[in-house]
C-alpha cells in the first residue's frame, strides 16, 4: 500500500522505538504498524497535515465499520502515543491527537466458568492424556492446567522457557507486558501435569528445538494460535456453553481466587496488571455469594418480597444480644486453583 509522503519512515521509526525502548512484544508492534498504516490511508495527507478534525473523521469511520469499542480504544491509544512521540522527537510541531478522545467503553463482566465445570474439563483432559500414547495430549493438559493455575496470558505461557519453572518453590518466572518480570505460584495439579509433559517432551523435540516449555508437533515453539485452539477444544468438550479461550481461564483463575478470599493486590501481582483498577473487574461475585453475604450481614435477611415497614421493624433485632448473639460473618468460599484436593487425587 502506497502511503502519503512521510508516513512510512515515521511508522518504521516509531515501531523501532516501541519495540526496543518500551519493550513491547512483536505482536503489539505489528498491531501498531497495522493501525498506523490504516490511519495514514484514511486521512490521506502527510503526518504534518493531520488535524484533530481528520482524526475525528477516522474515529467516525471506525465506528461506521462496526469496530468494537475495545478495538477503537486500542487504536486511539496507539495513535495518541504515535503523535506524542513524533512531537517530542521534533518530527511534528504540534500533536493533533492531544485532545483526541475515544468513545466510552461499557465494561462487560467477563463470563466465568464455575469451579466445578473447570474441574470437569481438567479431569476430562487428564483422561485423554492417560488414554493413549499421544504426547501432544499430555502437552495440552499441561497447558490448560498451567493457564488455570497461574492466570498467565497465552503469550506468556508459550513464551516460558525450561529454566522458568521452579519446582522447589512451586512457581514460574514470567516475563509479561513491558518486559515486566513476575513470579507466579503454581498449584500441585499444574506441577504434576507439567512434569508429565516434560517427561514425554523429548518425543516431540527435534535437533535445534528451542528451550521453550511447550513445543508444537514439529518441534518448534508452540504457536499462540495453536495454544488458543487447544484451549477452545478442551473447554468445548466440557459441554454446551463451556467453551472459552485462554483468557477465559485467566478470568476463572482471578475470579475463583477472589471468591476464595484472596486480596485484590495479590491477584493484581499474579495477573501482572500494572494498575489495580484493571484487576477490580474481577471483584464481581456470583449470585450465590451475594445471597450468602446478604443473609449473613443484613438485619432483615429473608430473600422474599418486601414486607410492610411495620413488619420489618417487628422482625428486626434491636441489638445482636436481643437476637441471641451476633450472626456469623464467615464468608463462604469456593476452591481456589491452589486448593483442589478433588482434582489432585487421581490426576497423573
Catalytic residues: 153, 177, 247, 250, 273, 282
The CA distance from 129 to 139, in Å, is: 8
Q: What are the cell numbers at 339?
A: 486448593
Classify residue 65 by its DSSP letter.
T
The CA distance from 343 to 112, in Å, is: 19
Residue pair 340/189 in contact (Cβ under 8 Å)? The answer is: yes
Give DSSP secondary structure letters for 306-317: PPPHHHHHHHS-
Buried-state track 189-210, b at ≥16 Cβ within 10 A, e below 16 = bbbbbbebbeebbeebbeeebe
Dihedral angle, C-alpha 32, 35, 40, 41, nearest 10 °? 140
Amino acid at each position: 500500500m502506497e502511503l502519503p509522503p512521510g508516513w512510512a519512515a515515521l511508522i518504521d521509526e516509531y515501531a523501532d522505538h516501541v519495540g526496543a525502548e518500551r519493550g513491547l512484544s512483536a505482536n503489539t508492534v505489528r498491531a501498531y504498524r497495522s493501525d498506523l498504516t490504516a490511519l495514514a490511508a484514511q486521512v490521506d495527507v502527510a503526518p504534518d497535515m493531520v488535524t484533530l478534525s481528520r482524526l475525528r473523521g477516522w474515529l467516525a469511520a471506525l465506528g461506521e465499520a462496526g469496530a468494537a469499542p475495545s478495538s477503537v480504544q486500542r487504536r486511539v491509544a496507539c495513535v495518541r502515543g504515535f503523535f506524542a512521540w513524533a512531537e517530542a522527537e521534533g518530527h511534528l510541531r504540534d500533536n493533533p491527537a492531544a485532545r483526541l478522545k475515544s468513545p466510552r467503553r461499557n465494561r462487560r463482566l467477563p463470563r466465568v466458568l464455575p469451579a466445578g465445570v473447570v474441574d470437569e474439563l481438567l479431569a476430562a483432559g487428564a483422561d485423554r492424556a492417560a488414554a493413549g500414547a499421544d504426547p501432544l495430549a499430555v502437552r495440552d493438559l499441561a497447558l490448560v492446567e498451567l493457564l488455570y493455575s497461574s492466570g498467565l496470558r497465552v503469550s506468556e505461557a508459550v513464551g516460558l522457557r525450561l529454566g522458568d519453572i521452579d519446582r522447589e518453590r512451586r512457581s514460574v518466572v514470567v516475563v509479561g507486558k513491558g518486559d515486566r518480570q513476575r513470579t507466579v505460584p503454581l498449584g500441585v495439579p499444574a506441577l504434576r501435569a507439567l512434569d508429565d509433559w516434560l517427561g514425554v517432551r523429548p518425543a516431540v523435540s527435534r535437533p535445534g528445538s528451542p528451550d521453550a516449555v511447550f513445543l508444537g508437533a514439529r518441534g518448534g515453539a508452540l504457536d499462540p494460535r495453536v495454544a488458543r485452539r487447544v484451549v477452545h477444544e478442551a473447554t468445548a468438550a466440557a459441554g454446551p456453553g463451556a467453551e472459552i479461550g485462554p483468557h477465559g481461564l485467566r478470568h476463572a483463575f482471578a475470579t475463583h481466587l477472589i471468591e476464595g478470599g484472596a486480596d485484590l493486590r495479590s491477584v493484581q501481582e499474579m495477573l501482572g496488571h500494572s494498575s489495580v483498577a484493571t484487576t477490580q473487574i474481577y471483584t464481581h461475585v456470583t449470585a450465590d455469594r451475594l445471597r450468602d453475604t446478604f443473609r449473613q450481614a443484613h438485619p432483615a435477611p429473608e430473600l422474599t418480597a418486601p414486607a410492610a415497614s411495620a413488619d420489618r421493624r417487628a422482625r428486626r433485632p434491636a441489638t445482636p444480644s436481643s437476637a441471641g448473639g451476633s450472626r456469623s460473618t464467615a464468608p463462604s468460599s469456593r476452591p481456589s486453583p491452589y486448593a483442589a484436593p478433588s482434582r489432585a487425587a487421581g490426576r497423573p
